[in-house]
Amino acid sequence: MNSFSHYHGKLAQKLTPKRYKHSVAVAETALALAKIHKVPSGPAYLAGLLHDYARDLPDPILAELAKSAGIPADPVLDALPELWHGSVGAFLVEKELGLKHPQLLQAIRYHILGHPAMTDLDKVVFIADMIEPNRDFSGVERIREMAFKDLDEAMLLAFEQSIHYLLDKKQLIHPLMIEARNQLILTARLEGR
Ligand SMILES: [Fe+2]
Ligand SMILES: [Fe+2]
Q: How far is the CA of 86 from the centre of ligand 1 (A)?
A: 6
Taking the CA of 22 as reference, the closest ligand is 2
Query: Quick check: pTM over 0.95?
Result: yes
User: For 4-190, CATH number?
Assistant: 1.10.3210.10
Q: How far is the CA of 193 from the centre of ligand 2 (A)?
A: 30
Q: State pLDDT tens for residues 104-139.
A: 999 999 999 999 999 999 999 999 999 999 999 999
Question: Is residue 12 predicted with pLDDT exceeding 80?
Answer: yes
In this prediction, residue 2 carries a pLDDT of 77
Q: How far is the CA of 155 from the centre of ligand 1 (A)?
A: 16
Q: Are 140 and 131 in contact (CB under 8 A)?
A: yes
In this prediction, residue 1 carries a pLDDT of 66
Q: State pLDDT tens for residues 43-97.
A: 999 999 999 999 999 999 999 999 999 999 899 999 999 999 999 999 999 999 9
Q: How far is the CA of 129 from the centre of ligand 2 (A)?
A: 5
Where in the chain are the domains? 4-190
19 CB burial (10 A radius; 0-12, 13-18, 19+): middle
